[in-house]
A and B are shown apart, each in its own frame.
Chain A
């Protein structure tokens, strides 16, 4: 009896000490996007599997970026897992701010990550952030309005097709605007879109010697086209519309077309929020006739580990859990296939259940059409499609975004906006020592 007791005591003690040694509380910094909120709700599953507890710090995107940068640079060690985007991953990895994720176990199947995502989240061939969800951009259009206008949208339209569709669907008396596009200033707002338009007109931000190219005819053609399209067929006040504003307009049935992030597809087809849920069609982001590059971007919200965390092992376990195939299954079982985080893994698009989701095929095709290593027709020295992956970009992009936003608002001409953006970019790049 006493032996049994002793055994029990030893077992209990071992259990306590082992869980005590391994169970940790990790702090995760994230943004308030639907998929992240869902993940927070499912954290219990992670705690159950690993014993680790999770503390969430949810911040606004730009505050998060600034807060996390400051903490990493000062080695504050406040966060164990970070939610970061495709823009900062290669830059931060280059600064040795992130822990490489190359040693994730075979069961994680890192080769299953969509190649475009993997390329965008790697630095010198090593993966530094695991995609939680990924997106490209595509056209979302109203099938009923197209039909009414007697038009059909090709699966791979050109800008001329888009302009014709915008013209055909516009009915300003009934507050229906042929096309809604981003006009709100910001490197991640209007500049994400305008840069992709420029790519699809054969333009590029910099030549091989880092000389800004906004004074080239390609840029002028691209920006003139964007400005004309949006001011002629777009909603009033388009210069202040970003992703959320356009989402609201589209859901209220006021946009004939909207070219934006593929993740929006699940919002506009959700009958709880959208008045046009059953009347949405999808097509690839357009290009100019004869130009080899389409205007679709590539973005991922990814999870990374800051160098200097004391809880690297637990943090890795979390990333493994949150970006695994099992996690996708878990979300599907609780919330349905339309709500799983999209755009990260190849296997998801091979899943017959997911293939039934109306926007699945077009999302994959859009992501596959994007190549961050070769974003433009002419060669460029940078990585990134709707951004330039250099630290100076946030400043340059936002300054240019303000000029183009003022242009859409009618405060200046296309030439003026381009000249100012070119001058500012040249100045910033020179100051940065390029």
Chain B
């Protein structure tokens, strides 16, 4: 009896999980489907699901009109650069907070998080002016720095939670054996924390890849990443959904593939520390 209830519950849970999963994935699926329709089919009422004449025309148009590789390259540099830079700063910061906490550590962590509570547009103008002064507008360096700063609190928090799970005794033992601080972080802590660092890295690449406020506002032609590439396909006068969908699919494809292959790491990193 007890067993049958469990099975039934399991089935319900599985079904619910699938339903929610599909619901969340549906907009992406719809975008991908739309990218293979003609403009007229894209806005057909009732909507067309799978039975339409599949066409690659939108991809051809997008390829012809935009320099996809340039946007892609900018996205790779900006997302990758900001994440690596963030990690270089966040690993020592999280180490000190996790293993040598002071009275104010909790406050500092909260303060770091509080920078995420201000709407981005609130600091747009000051940052824009600073960028003009420093000649950083429409440069990859400028965007890399801004995105690193935006995501830094999340990186520090994630690493901090992860490091907290590592027994301090192991580090102590290393110190007893004469390891310097640098050696301790590089050879003891980092290898043990690799899964956590990896998931932090992945999550931040995804966040930086999809960031659309700063990347649109601080770039023009040279440093514009894939977000600007997508934005260029919406139109006030004329049908554009199919071409916009093709551009979106091309923009999310790399990150989707990366996410697919690293989902185990990602889930593990995100749920680590949740269950003790």
Contact = CB atoms under 8 A, between A and B. Distances in A.
B43 A58 contact: no
B65 A40 contact: yes
A77 B239 CA distance: 32
B224 A244 contact: no
A67 B216 contact: yes
Most buried by B among A37, A56, A60: A60
Contact of B132 (A29, A67, A74, A247): A74
B217 A32 contact: no
Contacts of B233: 32, 58
B125 A32 contact: no
B89 interface: no
Interface residues of B, number: 31
Interface string A246-286: 01110110000000010110010000010000000000000
Contacts of A40: 65
Interface of A: 27, 29, 31-34, 37, 40, 55-61, 63, 67, 70, 74-79, 188, 243-245, 247-249, 251-252, 261, 263-264, 267, 273
Given A57-B220, A76-B132, A33 B40 contact: no
B221 A267 contact: no
Contacts of A261: 237
A74 B130 CA distance: 10
A119 B40 CA distance: 37
B237 to A, nearest CB: 5
B231 to A, nearest CB: 6
Interface in B220-267: 220-222, 224, 228, 231-240
A55 B128 contact: no
B129 interface: yes
Contacts of A32: 232-235, 238, 240
A402 to B, nearest CB: 18
Nearest to A254: B45
B240 to A, nearest CB: 7
Interface in B112-147: 124-125, 128-129, 131-132, 137-138
A249 B44 CA distance: 9
A245 B132 CA distance: 40
Nearest to B128: A74
B221 A273 contact: no
B237 A243 contact: yes
A247 B239 CA distance: 8
Interface string B67-81: 000000000000000
Contact of A67 (B43, B217, B240): B217
B211 interface: no
Contact of B239 (A57, A70, A75, A248): A248
Contacts of B124: 70
Interface in B161-202: none
Given A27-B221, A55-B222, A74-B132, A61 B216 contact: no
Contact of A57 (B65, B221, B234, B240): B221
A63 B40 contact: no
B231 A56 contact: no
24 contacts: A27-B220, A29-B220, A31-B236, A32-B235, A32-B238, A33-B235, A34-B235, A37-B65, A55-B220, A56-B221, A57-B232, A60-B236, A63-B231, A70-B125, A76-B132, A78-B138, A188-B236, A243-B237, A244-B239, A245-B43, A252-B40, A263-B237, A264-B237, A267-B238
Contacts of A252: 40, 44-45
Contacts of B137: 76, 78
Contacts of A244: 43, 235, 237-240
B245 to A, nearest CB: 14
A163 B224 CA distance: 49
A132 to B, nearest CB: 13
Nearest to A61: B236
Top 10 closest A-B pairs, CB basis?
A58-B232, A55-B221, A248-B43, A32-B235, A78-B220, A60-B234, A61-B236, A33-B237, A57-B220, A34-B238
Nearest to A25: B221
Contacts of A58: 231-233
Given A58-B232, A60-B231, A261-B237, A74 B220 contact: no
A31 B132 contact: no
A74 B128 CA distance: 8
A60 B238 CA distance: 12
